[in-house]
Amino acid sequence: MEDNLLLICAIAFAAVLTILSLLAGMIAGICQLFPVRAADLPDPGAEEAVRQAAAKAFPGCHVTEIREIKK
């Protein structure tokens, strides 16, 4: 009985490891297909400036999301 439980656990572990490996490979492939340019990343200094300005203008205000619209 204990041998069966050990075998079941080993098979489940191998299955989870296989699935996670496949997902990691898919994510790596997607990152290769759609690379992120440094210019597309948000500027942390600008985001902090917006948060500080909003907190100063509206005390108690919390900025949760900042979206930049590029034209």
Polymer length in residues for the chain: 71
Half-sphere exposure of 22 toward its Cβ, with a 13 Å CA cutoff? 6
Helix extents (H) in 1-71 = 2-33, 44-57
Collapsing DSSP to helix, strand or coil, 38 comes out as helix
- Cβ-Cβ contacts under 8 Å for 11 (sequence gap 6 or more): none
Lowest mean pLDDT among 7-16, 18-27, 32-41, 48-57: 32-41
Most confident of 17-21, 43-47, 49-53, 60-64: 17-21
Question: Which residue, chain included where needed, has tokens 């210019």?
Answer: 39
What value does the mean pLDDT take over residues 6-27?
97
- Cβ-Cβ contacts under 8 Å for 54 (sequence gap 6 or more): 61, 63
What's this model's pTM, rounded to 2 decimal places? 0.52
